[in-house]
Structure 1
Amino acid sequence: MFVILRTLVPYIVEKEGKSIRDQLIKSVKYNESLDMIYMTNDGQISKRRIRAQQVGEVSFRAYCFLRKSTRTFTIENVLALVPVTVNENRMIYIS
């Protein structure tokens, strides 16, 4: 399933005229948080909430809310990006 996702998501995003890189640049400009599905170089897949800070040609730096630190990610390894809505961003979780 993830192999299909990895091949379909970039195609769908590109078809709509926005690459993953374009989405990251927009999120930096508007200081938006994003939910990201990411695959590491060794094939592990994780979901992270990030706030992109700098976008390069092949990688980007973002604050990762999961790790609570600034991390460097490879754009090619991003499987999906979804902007966090305002209401979702303000949601308080009670355990």
Structure 2
Amino acid sequence: MAWQKTFLDKNSRWWLRKIARAQYYASATGKWYEGRFTEKSMSGNTMTFKIETTDEMSITITKVRLLDADGDVAYEGNRSIVKSSTEGALIQIDVPMVEE
């Protein structure tokens, strides 16, 4: 017997809803900044989050993280994204549901 697709799909949607905030970190300032979700989706075993930056600074983004509705860090990963003050950055985070 195996998990049913409807059950797995329902739980995947729950996980996507549970991720409430995205943040990005600039090591030069030592601060976390709030990002804005432009998309949350699920394909197979991978959750995808697309985030846009909200600041107007020239920074290098060195980390990204996702927080759940309780404020706990659900995911954190390293990046190296150079962003100018006149342009935003779009960040895509692909997270497998099962880590190997």
> Structure 2 length normalisation: TM-score?
0.27
Q: Which has the higher helix share?
A: 1
Larger radius of gyration between Structure 1 and Structure 2: 2
Output the TM-score relative to the length of structure 1: 0.28
**Structure with a larger share of its residues in strand:** 2
